[in-house]
Amino acid sequence: MIDSQLSELLDILTFQKTDDDTYIAKNLFIGSPNVYGGQVLAQAISVANLTIADDKVLHSIHSYFINPGDNDEDIIYKVETIKDGKSFNTRRVVATQKGRDIFVLVASYQKPEVGIEHQVVMPNVARPDSLTSFSDLFAEFAEKFKVEPRGIFSPKGPFVFHPVEHYDPFNPRIRPPMNHTWFKTNGALSDDSKLHQTTLAYASDFNLLITALMPHGLSFFTTPMQIASLDHAMWFHRPVRTDDWLLYVVESSNANSGRAFCTGKIFTKDGLLVASTAQEGLIRKLS
């Protein structure tokens, strides 16, 4: 595996079991002041998967971020079996730190079946190999402003991101709230389909709320702001590999009352729609 945090991401998706359906997990620090939301999404999905004994496949999650997570504290995940049915299974996962709930997720699994099919068409945008990565774009700014690149902006991050539209976080321009970004893991993964769904959930929290800042010419590098995910929903439509290029199409259709609403569609490079996302987040200007 190449030199990246991908191996560390895989490490924190391995848990210590302490009781029936109770697990302890470590954190992966990527520069955010609190535990990155995509991490608890991925970990909660992973522990829910451990309780699924049949051939049902995860098709949707609905979750709430209740309190900020502390990067220095382990997270305890408790899984509750809500339903084991003929066609669907349902699990509820609660994440806690220091006895305080920080996150709750409900996951639904379906027995594979054949049905009607249709999907929207993937936008016609530049291909990933013709674009520059976030980490390369950010490198000159990081040196100029003495900022250490982490997470989405780091060449060692667990994922590689190639934005279609030019993005200057230190000189944001006003533009429509629409964003296209190619991404994949920063290294190869095994063929485990559950792992690819889990890592897709991890990456799905990137870029959502940033899109809501675009029509206002704002960036958290230039304007003091409090930004936090409030909830996150995700639907898995088709099998996916996260170690091959995927296109994340994000749109913010509304912002008011200190909250912004964003939706996303994730396509393979061949145009298959593999997942959809929706999120509302807190955005407060602090000055």
> For the domain that residue 207 is a member of, what is the CATH number?
2.40.160.210
Pairing of strands 22-25, 16-19: antiparallel
Candidate list 4, 39, 204, 205, residue with the active-site label = 205
What per-residue confidence (pLDDT) applies to 1?
A: 44
Number of C-alpha atoms within 13 angstroms, CB side, residue 115?
7
Closest CA to 55 of 87, 92, 20: 87
H-helix segments, the chain: 6-11, 37-49, 134-145, 193-204, 208-213
Candidate list 229, 252, 276, 287, residue with the active-site label = 229
Lowest mean pLDDT among 65-79, 133-147, 180-194, 254-268: 133-147
CB 119 within 8 A of CB 237: yes
| Helix, strand, or coil (residue 222) | coil
> Is 67 among the domain residues?
yes
- Tell me the whole-structure pTM to 2 decimals: 0.94
- Can 279 be counted among the known catalytic residues? yes
Reported as a single tens digit per residue, the pLDDT across 195-251 is: 999 999 999 999 899 999 999 999 877 888 999 999 999 999 999 999 999 999 999
> Is 1 among the domain residues?
no
- Can 110 be counted among the known catalytic residues? no
Q: Which helix (H) or strand (E) holds 226?
A: strand 225-236
Where in the sequence is the domain holding 85, given as residue range(s)? 6-113+122-285
Domain count, the chain: 1
Q: Which helix (H) or strand (E) holds 263?
A: strand 259-268
pLDDT greater than 60 at residue 260 = yes
> Is 127 among the domain residues?
yes
Q: What is the DSSP letter of 156?
A: T
Q: Percent of the chain scored above 90 by pLDDT? A: 80
- Can 197 be counted among the known catalytic residues? no
